[in-house]
Amino acid sequence: MAKSSTTQLFLQSPQLGFAPRSITLSSNLTLSHLKLSQTPTLNKSLLDSLYFSFNGRPLPDSTLLSSLPSRSTLLLLLRLRGGGGDGGATGAESRDCYLSMYLSKKPDKVDPNEKRLSKWTTCALSGEPLVHPVVIDRLGNIFNKEPLVESLLKKTLPKAFRHIRGLKDMFPVNLEQIPGAEEYKSETRFQCPISGLEFNGKYPFFALRGCGHVISSKALREVKSSACLVCHKEYSELDKIVINGSEDEVNVLRERMEEERGKVKEKREKKRVGDEKGDVLENGKKESKRFKALDIAPANANKAVYASIFTSSNKGDFKETYSCRSLPLGRN
């Protein structure tokens, strides 16, 4: 009974590197099904160039298995097309190129080109296409602002983005739209406003932290200026954030981030030490005097340090701190 509904065949394909194999399939299927069952990982254009041959005769894919003599040996062959004729290439060469090109491609491997492009056209967090308002973080990742802020508030940021601790760690950027990109469903939708290079990962781009303009490295290199080439706002090297940079570039940005955070922390601590001393040492009456002193502080003086000149003059309670140790008034 099983014999009547199935067909047993032998299949060989030296070109595809198949060892001869025995296959039993339902008789009402076609060669097209057989082909798919044996080469599920090949893409369509390669599938289309494969055909079966029996006794030296090519068979159309629509051939029913039931129409073949049982236990036939079929060859799966690659149809050669085009190429050659110039004396430089032989069929064997072109076939090898073709095969290695397709067969070396693992089915689960993401095309590196697609991966690169998606990094430059979609939000690093949500994977959605980039739509303004767009922000970058201190490491040059690019996001749609909305999902990033939402994730930040809900504390659901993945580990890779935990360095984003608040709104101060995201900078709005201004991506220049390619005219007509939406209309033509172009894969790349943004470009350098100066050079016109596409924002697709093939060219390095920098975002300027002050104004948010995103400009190709090429344009920044060619037009030597310390002002943004678009809005003419001054920027320093530290304001340049390379977008989707290499590992080394990201490491530099990370160091810069730690450094800047260290400075902010230091500043805050200095201020705190100054304030605490004031609270401990001053009673209400003197407090008002202290504010007067602060009010006349030189414009460029650090107010906390300036205040400490007055608050540390009580020698009994005086303790050296980082913020006032170098002031002679405190020492004497």
Task: Please choose, out of 108-116, 161-169, 206-214, 283-291, the segment that lies near Zn ion by the rule CB under 5 A.
Answer: 206-214
Return the number of the residue (11 or 220) whose C-beta is nearest Zn ion.
220
**Sole window of 97-105, 229-237, 299-307, 309-317 interacting with Zn ion (rule: CB under 5 A):** 229-237
170 touching Zn ion, by CB under 5 A: no
Residue 298 — φ and ψ, nearest 5°? Answer: -55, 145
**How far apart are CB 211 and Zn ion at their closest, in Å?**
3
Q: How far is the CB of 175 from Zn ion (least distance, A)?
A: 12
- Tokens for 50, please give them: 């494969």
> Which amino acid type is present at position 83?
G
Tokens, residue 282: 């001053």
Q: Are strands 72-78 and 6-13 parallel, antiparallel or unpaired?
A: parallel
Query: Does 215 engage in binding with Zn ion (CB under 5 A)?
Result: no
Residue 213 interacts with Zn ion (CB under 5 A): yes or no:
yes
Q: Is 142 in the site for Zn ion (CB under 5 A)?
A: no
Q: Least distance to Zn ion from the beta carbon of 145, Å?
A: 18
Binding to Zn ion by residue 219, rule CB under 5 A?
A: no
Task: List all residues 6 or more positions away from 46 whose beta carbon is below 8 Å from its beta carbon.
Answer: 39, 98, 102
Distance CA 131, CA 143 (A): 9
User: Per CB under 5 A, does 131 bind Zn ion?
Assistant: no
Scanning 99-107, 203-211, 244-252, 263-271 for contacts with Zn ion by CB under 5 A, the matching segment is: 203-211
Does residue number 230 form part of the binding site for Zn ion (CB under 5 A)? yes
Whose Cβ is closer to Zn ion: residue 189's or residue 213's?
213
CA-closest candidate to residue 214, choices 241, 251, 254, 180: 241
Compute how many other C-beta atoms are within 10 angstroms of the C-beta atom of residue 261. 14
Check binding of 242 to Zn ion (CB under 5 A).
Answer: no
Residues 43-62 that bind Zn ion (CB under 5 A): none
Minimum CB–partner distance for residue 174 and Zn ion (Å):
7
Candidates 160, 223, 231, 280; binder of Zn ion (CB under 5 A) is 231
Residue 109 to residue 33: CA distance in whole angstroms: 25
Can residue 220 be called a binding residue for Zn ion (CB under 5 A)? no
Rounded-to-integer distance, Cα 62 and Cα 54, Å: 14
230/304 with CB nearer Zn ion: 230
Q: Least distance in Å: CB of 229 to Zn ion?
A: 7
Q: Which two tokens mark 65?
A: 């298995």
Q: C-beta of 208: minimal distance to Zn ion in Å?
A: 6
List the structure tokens of 44: 């369509």
Specify the long-range contacts of residues 314-323, CB closer than 8 Å, at least 24 apart. Answer: 314/281, 317/280, 317/281, 321/273, 321/277, 322/270, 322/273, 323/270, 323/273, 323/274
State the minimum distance, in angstroms, from the CB of residue 236 to Zn ion.
Answer: 13
CB-based contact 207:214 (threshold 8 Å): yes
225-241 burial, b if ≥16 CB within 10 A, otherwise e?
A: eeebbbeeeebeeebbb
What is the smallest separation between the CB atom of 323 and Zn ion, expressed in angstroms? 37
Does position 68 interact with Zn ion (CB under 5 A)? The reply is no
Phi and psi of 304, rounded to 5°?
A: -65, -40
Interface with Zn ion, residue 194, by CB under 5 A: no
Residue 134, interface with Zn ion (CB under 5 A)? no
Nearer to Zn ion (CB atom), residue 146 or residue 239: 239
Residue 68 or 230: the one with the smaller Cβ distance to Zn ion is 230
Residue 107 CB, shortest distance to Zn ion, in Å, is 45
Q: How many residues bind Zn ion (CB under 5 A)?
A: 5
Where do contacts with Zn ion occur on this chain (CB under 5 A)?
211, 213, 228, 230-231
